[in-house]
């Protein structure tokens, strides 16, 4: 709409999701930003720091996610929305405590087998 009236205008726009971002890139906007993605990265960084990760470690994790996601977005722009799935993390999550236990823990199976006191 804007380009029909102002063909030489430089557009800086916010995308609300991945599909919208791909549509904007196809229209050759000057700059687009996925606001939910960016806020998610920042929130994730601060959460990691709150759980004990250093600022540098949290930043590195967020940048790795950003890099892989940007690569996937480029592939999707060229090959379609299903491209680049191999860039997503596929490893199962290994549960671990968020807070270090104050005393040694024992597996439930071990507790059941231990003789009653």
The pLDDT tens digits of the residues spanning 18-37 come to 889 999 888 888 999 998 99
Distance CA 46, CA 54 (A): 10
Q: How confident is the model at residue 117 (pLDDT cuts 50, 70, 90)?
A: low
pLDDT top residue among 47 and 110 = 47
Q: Could you tell me the two tokens for 34?
A: 């996925």
- d(CA 96, CA 61) in angstroms, rounded, equals 18
Domain boundaries, the chain: 2-89
Taking the C-alpha atoms of residue 107 and residue 43, their distance in angstroms, rounded to an integer, is 33
User: Could you tell me the pTM of the whole model?
Assistant: 0.62
Strand runs labelled E in 16-117: 31-34
CATH architecture of 2-89: 3-Layer(aba) Sandwich (3.40)
Closest CA to 81 of 8, 14, 19, 11: 19
Q: Residue 41: what pLDDT?
A: 94
């Amino acid at each position: 709409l804007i380009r029909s009236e102002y063909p030489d205008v430089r557009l800086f726009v916010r995308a609300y999701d991945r599909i919208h971002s791909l549509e904007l890139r196809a229209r050759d906007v000057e700059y687009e930003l996925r606001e939910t993605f960016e806020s998610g990265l920042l929130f994730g960084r601060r959460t990691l720091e709150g759980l004990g990760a250093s600022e540098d470690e949290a930043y590195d994790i967020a940048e790795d996610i950003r890099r892989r996601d940007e690569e996937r977005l480029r592939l999707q722009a060229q090959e379609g929305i299903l491209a680049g799935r191999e860039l997503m993390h596929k490893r199962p999550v290994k549960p671990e405590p968020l807070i270090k236990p104050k005393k040694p823990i024992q597996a439930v199976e071990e507790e059941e087998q231990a003789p009653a006191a």
